Structure 1
Amino acid sequence: MAPKVKLTLNTEDATPLTNAVKRKKASNETLAEAWQRLASLKNNATDQRMLAEVKAAMEDGKIGREADAVAGNKRLSKAEVKRLWVQVKEIHKQEVLDDMVANMPNNYWLIQTVERLDEFLAILDDEDEAAFDVETTGTNVWQDYLVGHVLGAVKADIHAYIPVRHITEETQLDADYVKERLRPYYENPKLKKVAHNGKFDMHMLDREGILLRGLNWDTQEAMKLLNENEPRYALKKLVTKYLNIPSLTYGELFGKIGFQEVSSLIVAASYAIKDSDVTIKLKEFQLKHMKRFPEILEYYERVEVPFIETLFEMETTGYEIDLDFAERYAEDLCQKFEALRSDIFTVIGEVDLDSPAQLKATLNSCLGLKLESTDAKKALAPIANDYPVIADILAYKKQVKLYSTYFNVIPDLVDKATGKLHANFNGNGTKTGRLSSGKDEEATAKDGTVNLQNQPKPARIMYLAPKGYALVSGDWSQQEIRCLAYFTQEPVLLEAYRTGRDVYSSLAAETFNKTYEECGDGTTYRDAAKRVLLSIVYGTTKYGLSTQLKIDVSEAQILIDKVMSTMPNVVAFINENNRTVARKGYVSMDKNQRKRRLPAIKQNPSWSQRNRVYRQATNAIIQGSAAIQSKITMNALAQLCRTKRSEGKDWRIWCTIHDEAILQVPDNFTQDELIEFEDIMLNSYVFGNVPNKTDIAIMRRWGEGVTKEEWFKK
């Protein structure tokens, strides 16, 4: 038998040969073949655009291949193309800037001399309306600063940029000199102003000591009324889409540098001045369309535009934070959730409580459960009474969130210059027109602001009235339900509001055939009626209601049917809303002052999608109409504060949270002045024959209020 021979391949010896073959193959591949090969790969839309742009740049001789790739006789790779694309984009950016300068219209003026400024202001003297914009170092209105002024004379169609703080050796006028020359125009209420996101510009001018007056049109807010479903409201995006005026964004042209770093003033001017020009054109486009809907136009001019100034004043007031209290509370929270974590680990062992996957597996294993998720509301809360460790987990998560989102974050957001925390309010933060603040539930350190709409009650006590001041609060009692009563004229609701009885107890008594006294606060009858009624307003499904009440879905549906059987007008209202949205694709708020467009209903929706739109339709009418009431009232309160300030009393609009409005006032306010406040809350906007009701509280610390009787007794 022949001996066995073991063969070992020398792969190292083969490597040079393999590489030589690859180099030979690369050297034989033409550039055209390389592009064809890359195009045949699995490319997404961005990849395809990248390949096309780099290929075109090579063919035009703008770029060549990388030197090391050529020296190494390497095939053109996708990685190399990606690196070359960075160069191509920079070349394109410079070409765009060069083209902007070369083709800058004659009616775009870069003002660098007193004589040219005099000439422009003489033109502005003959104008009734002007566009304005400010260029800045960034978007934080409390820390960034103004770099230049953009102004547009509407009738003359002349637009100017006045640089004042660019880092450049080119000539620019003194910032203080320009400020004083422009002050009479900015502060003249008779000169109507047009802007895009004007609240930002108002803040930056305020930092310069200029109080803008006469804001007449804001193209950003107008677009939110014309199309609340718009994906982006940036000026460049809107004019590109609606006016067919190609406009690159700031980031696309200048990257991440501040505008003060744009040292070529003609480049800066060619970019900045265009904003004035297109803002006026966009306003004309919007006005043309809004005139087709006179109720919306009238509402926009009467309510939404003044509301911008209301929000500006509210943001400027700011919030004093009790930093010592916040620190003590944060330490206490840490001790509490550490103790809870220790107790939890004793029962189920050590596990990452912030990992849904780990927590679910551990709970199922240790407790014999079959949880599909660890969602706090849907999965854990319904069984917390049966499992003490789950109650501890819920308490732990609540306290960790309170610590990490609020008490450990908010003190760091206090502005060093003002000593206060500031919010950034969005007047049309939701598609129904309700207010929002911040970008999400978390404190937003990027712009130095916080989301006040989601401050939990334990966090609110950090917020103080300044020394010598008080916070006067009024909230609309059952704002949305009163709105529902107005639209439906449902007898059981109207009678409750007419007699001053509790609306939920009245509905419960009618539904369950009980006496009013048997359906008092805390009873299951009242709770069930309340949740069903609120489900109409907030668009909650039977599934959501079953979770809230901890009952089967079938039981939830029976309950809904039972409560609704006592409100035929509400049923008819909902059915009519469903027919309207199915026919028109939208519903209208009170007095047709704004619309909620729901295009999904026209896109062959599934059964569940259609029902979702139906719920949104009724919800939008109620929520949107309540938002109209809130804004009109807030504007009236802001005007009250201005009147008081003109009398030497430092009244400030402080905040609005959901259905609550709060003023910051000197603590020596009188009962008559409190009546003025209450009258505005009650009578600024009434839903027909349904009276408003407001609960008044006076506070030194937000959330710790006393009644007006208790306040004046002291």
Structure 2
Amino acid sequence: GIFNNSDASKGKRRENLENAQSQLPLSQQLGTLIRDADLDFSIEQARVKPFDLQKILPLLQELELKRYEEVVRKLAGGDSQSLATPTTRKERVAELEKKTGAILDRGEYDTAEAGDYSAVLTNDQLEELVSTLSEQEIISFDTETDGLDREATLCGLSFSWKPKQGVYVPVRSPQPETHLDTETVISALKPVLENPDLPKCGHNLKFDASILIRNGIKLQGATFDTLLASQLVDSRTPSHNLDTLALLHLAHKMISFDELTMTSSRSASTDDTHQGELFDEEDAPQKTIDEVPLAQATIYAAEDADVALRLYHFLTPKLAEIGITELVHDIESPLAPILAEMEYNGIVCDKTELKRQSKAIEKLVADRENEIHEIVGYSFNIDSPNQLVQVLFEELGFKPVKRTRGGKISTDVTVLEALSLREDVNDPKTSVPRLIIEYRQYRKLQSTYLAQLQSAIDTRTERIHTHLYQLTTATGRLKSDRPNLQNIPIRTEIGRQLRRAFRAPEGSKLICADYSQIELRILAHFSEDESLIETFNQDLDIHTAVASQVFDVPADSVTRDLRDKAKTINFGIIYGVSATGLSRRIKGMTVQEAAALINDYKTRFPGIDRFLQQCVQHASDHGYVSTLTGRQRAIPEIYSTNRSRRGLGERLAINTVVQGSAADLMKAAMVNVQRRIDTDNLPLKMLLQIHDELVLETPEVLAEQHAQIVCEEMENAMSLLVPLRTEAGIGDNWMTAK
């Protein structure tokens, strides 16, 4: 066949065929299946058997295969026989049926270990529960609601103070005559949940606090949120929900909400029905938990509190191992109910003012569009990148700054900013990049902010209630969403005007308190640079002081232009700016001049350069960097063979330490401020947190006093090598308070 006609092939192909001919018999033998081998095997031997965790986990630990422990736990979680105890959920349901007197839709939930769970149905039982909870060193709790929204209706609360034990206190169920009402339960549990000296743990405490505050309870004493703790221990875990963590860390399979609430088609006589046959259709209608028979709801709810407590005990030593115990106990967990209260408070937003500004912005957009078209000489679509490329780089003669990943000439904001530095007052065409930037800013104000803010106003409260998230950013900064109030523009005067729409109600004032140059103070602390520390200790203006040193002029001779350049350098250093990047930010500066300036800066502030190198080295040695509180961020980019990607990793290493530590500080400050509010019972409300700024609402007559208190608590949030300084403004609206 092929080998007999190898002469027909030429060159390398013929050579390869001839060389392979001797290997053909062996290849044929290896590729032929033996169908008559004598094997002692039956198909039953191929059946996958459940893991025996008691045997396999010690073996994995002995072999130091720690990374596979979680995998094995997760795989074992799908097997009921290896994990269940003789006490099954079916037996527990039957027992609870007797206690509650409920007629149950009985089902088989033998998928996990059953705890000692019970329901509180009488005043005597509730009184006993309150007494028991008050005596504990720590309690775990959870709220049950009819939805996942922060305004969902409370259906009950569950508690646990001992592993594998839990209590459910229903306030809504299909048998309302068998349990207590909401008002009675809330009144009894309020002193427990508001006791700051009784430590509490739970999973996703911000949600629970949101539900409680709408029922007249202000959660205090939150010291351990298992959701936050898990995220901080290992952010790479794809899911941190309670069910996943129970499988992963406790080898425990919980009842899923779908299993609990899906309408069943089984009859009362099919007690031995397999779990996979419980439900008719995938799209069967779901019940809410208050529609589920009370005994089943009790097991589901109590299990949530029980598992959260068990995770607390599991995760506590993990926190100590990586040095983040205080971060979880003293900052992140107490912050959760504070954020819930801030969301609940909201901030008054004036719809009339938004509409007025919207009309003004609409005119500015049209004016800029007409001005650009007039300079260019014809109309074109300013929002089209392709048409912008033609206008800027072909017709107006600008040189391209960079290209997109696809190889096209970029027209993003960094390019336009670089081009605008070349503006010549004597040549109108050079003003086009600046005008395009302004056009885009106005368009964004109009579409992204003014329109969305109007629709976000709650008609009941006339306030905007944003959603705040703790750990969704890599640096630990808070995130605002729906709507995002942290991105309200402040770099331009027209953008700052937008803050005028956010105001205090009649008889009140807004307080805006922000840290002064917080990231540079963090830099001084880490770098231990003597010059930088001395500047802050003397309460000198850092940008003026740096300008004086870098540009060799007396401090009293530093011009605004020199100070601005020093400011650009200072913040550029934190973000790992390159000479090219610095030259683009400072008008009229060449790359060579920028490089010389950076080198001179590092020479004059050797501690800073040493710190920057240490950040990069730590990331390279360990794969992560840590903030002041021990918060870790993995930096995989540091190992990239791609030079650009590796450079990004180096910048992230530096920025994370500084910006992440600033985020830690602000969170600690928020906890301090709220603690002072609660301790002194102050009529003061936190409304917003915008990176290094806090916005609060206070009665007008107490504004000055409260502003001073806020500044005190912020400045005492942490102890650094340099003093912390805050500035507070008071006004009728957000703009005038700045």
- TM alignment of 1:169-318, pairs within 5 A: 174-246=181-253, 259=288, 263=292, 268-269=297-298, 271-293=300-322, 295-318=323-346
Q: Does the alignment pair 1:421 with 2:464?
A: yes
| 1:101/1:267 contact within 8 Å kept | no
| 1:586/1:595 contact within 8 Å kept | no
Equivalent residue in structure 1 for 2:698, among 656, 665, 671: 665
Identity among equivalent pairs (%): 27
- Give the corresponding residue for 2:656: 620
Distance 1:465 1:427, change over 3 A: same
- TM alignment of 1:62-101, pairs within 5 A: 101=109
Stretches of structure 1 that go unaligned for 5 or more consecutive residues are: 1-95, 439-443, 707-714
Q: What is the CA-CA distance between 1:701 and the residue it aligns to?
A: 0.8
- Give the corresponding residue for 1:6: none
Q: Does the alignment pair 1:146 with 2:154?
A: yes
- Give the corresponding residue for 2:551: 512
**What amino acid sits opposite 2:453 in the alignment?**
I
Q: Does the alignment pair 1:451 with 2:473?
A: no
Distance 1:122 1:567, change over 3 A: closer
CA distance in 2, matches of 1:162, 1:205: 14
**Residue aligned with 2:459, SS:** coil
Q: What is the CA-CA distance between 1:514 and the residue it aligns to?
A: 2.7
Q: What is the CA-CA distance between 1:316 and the residue it aligns to?
A: 2.9
**Residue aligned with 1:209, SS:** coil
Equivalent residue in structure 2 for 1:546, among 583, 586, 602: 583
Q: What is the CA-CA distance between 1:552 and the residue it aligns to?
A: 4.9
Deviations 1:18-58 (A, max 9, x none): xxxxxxxxxxxxxxxxxxxxxxxxxxxxxxxxxxxxxxxxx
Q: What is the CA-CA distance between 1:480 and the residue it aligns to?
A: 1.2
Q: Does the alignment pair 1:703 with 2:735?
A: yes
| 2:637/2:648 contact within 8 Å kept | no
Distance 1:458 1:239, change over 3 A: farther
- Give the corresponding residue for 2:138: 129
- Give the corresponding residue for 1:340: 368
CA distance in 1, matches of 2:210, 2:221: 15
Deviations 1:255-314 (A, max 9, x none): 896735854555555544432232222212210212324x52134322333223332333
Distance 1:474 1:191, change over 3 A: closer
| 2:511/2:731 contact within 8 Å kept | yes
Deviations 1:630-678 (A, max 9, x none): 223222222332344x3xx522223322222233221112756544443
CA distance in 2, matches of 1:169, 1:669: 46
Distance 1:683 1:176, change over 3 A: closer
Q: What is the CA-CA distance between 1:121 and the residue it aligns to?
A: 6.2
| 1:431/1:596 contact within 8 Å kept | no
- Give the corresponding residue for 1:15: none
CA distance in 2, matches of 1:544, 1:265: 64
- Give the corresponding residue for 1:461: 500
**Residue aligned with 1:558, SS:** helix
| 1:132/1:152 contact within 8 Å kept | yes
- Give the corresponding residue for 1:21: none
- Give the corresponding residue for 2:414: 378
| 2:519/2:662 contact within 8 Å kept | yes
Of stretches 466-475 and 99-108 in structure 1, the one that deviates more from structure 2 is 99-108
| 1:348/1:366 contact within 8 Å kept | no
| 1:307/1:635 contact within 8 Å kept | yes
CA distance in 1, matches of 2:539, 2:638: 43
Number of aligned positions between the proteins: 593
| 2:488/2:499 contact within 8 Å kept | no
CA distance in 1, matches of 2:210, 2:132: 26
Q: Does the alignment pair 1:587 with 2:641?
A: no
Q: What is the CA-CA distance between 1:568 and the residue it aligns to?
A: 1.4
**What amino acid sits opposite 2:341 in the alignment?**
E
Q: What is the CA-CA distance between 1:402 and the residue it aligns to?
A: 0.7
- Give the corresponding residue for 2:453: 410
- Give the corresponding residue for 2:671: 635
| 1:654/1:662 contact within 8 Å kept | yes
Q: Does the alignment pair 1:578 with 2:616?
A: yes
- Give the corresponding residue for 2:607: 569
**Residue aligned with 1:224, SS:** helix
TM superposition score normalised by structure 1: 0.74
**What amino acid sits opposite 1:615 in the alignment?**
R
CA distance in 2, matches of 1:659, 1:683: 15
- Give the corresponding residue for 2:715: 682
Distance 1:696 1:670, change over 3 A: closer
Distance 1:522 1:153, change over 3 A: same
Q: What is the CA-CA distance between 1:172 and the residue it aligns to?
A: 6.3
| 2:665/2:718 contact within 8 Å kept | yes
Q: What is the CA-CA distance between 1:420 and the residue it aligns to?
A: 1.6
Distance 1:136 1:345, change over 3 A: farther
Deviations 1:369-393 (A, max 9, x none): 5654454422223224344444333
Give the alignment's Cα RMSD to 1 decimal: 3.6
| 1:112/1:171 contact within 8 Å kept | no
CA distance in 2, matches of 1:140, 1:380: 42
Distance 1:629 1:127, change over 3 A: closer
Q: What is the CA-CA distance between 1:462 and the residue it aligns to?
A: 1.0
| 2:687/2:696 contact within 8 Å kept | yes
**Residue aligned with 2:330, SS:** helix
CA distance in 1, matches of 2:593, 2:251: 55
CA distance in 2, matches of 1:280, 1:348: 71
| 1:199/1:309 contact within 8 Å kept | yes
Stretches of structure 2 that go unaligned for 5 or more consecutive residues are: 1-89, 91-104, 263-282, 401-407, 424-428, 491-495
Equivalent residue in structure 1 for 2:568, among 531, 540, 543: 531
- Give the corresponding residue for 1:652: 685
CA distance in 2, matches of 1:486, 1:123: 46
Q: What is the CA-CA distance between 1:320 and the residue it aligns to?
A: 0.6
**What amino acid sits opposite 1:292 in the alignment?**
E
**Residue aligned with 1:701, SS:** coil
CA distance in 1, matches of 2:577, 2:153: 46
**Residue aligned with 1:505, SS:** helix
Q: What is the CA-CA distance between 1:587 and the residue it aligns to?
A: 3.1
Distance 1:494 1:654, change over 3 A: same
| 2:205/2:225 contact within 8 Å kept | yes
**What amino acid sits opposite 2:305 in the alignment?**
S
**Residue aligned with 1:212, SS:** coil
Distance 1:170 1:636, change over 3 A: closer
Q: What is the CA-CA distance between 1:116 and the residue it aligns to?
A: 10
Q: What is the CA-CA distance between 1:103 and the residue it aligns to?
A: 5.0
Distance 1:298 1:684, change over 3 A: closer
CA distance in 1, matches of 2:110, 2:295: 10
**Residue aligned with 1:408, SS:** helix
Q: Does the alignment pair 1:503 with 2:545?
A: no
Distance 1:180 1:348, change over 3 A: farther
**Residue aligned with 2:463, SS:** coil
CA distance in 1, matches of 2:378, 2:245: 55
**Residue aligned with 1:417, SS:** coil
Distance 1:498 1:127, change over 3 A: closer
Distance 1:518 1:100, change over 3 A: farther
TM superposition score normalised by structure 2: 0.71
| 2:507/2:700 contact within 8 Å kept | yes
**What amino acid sits opposite 1:585 in the alignment?**
G
Q: What is the CA-CA distance between 1:198 and the residue it aligns to?
A: 0.4
CA distance in 2, matches of 1:597, 1:308: 21
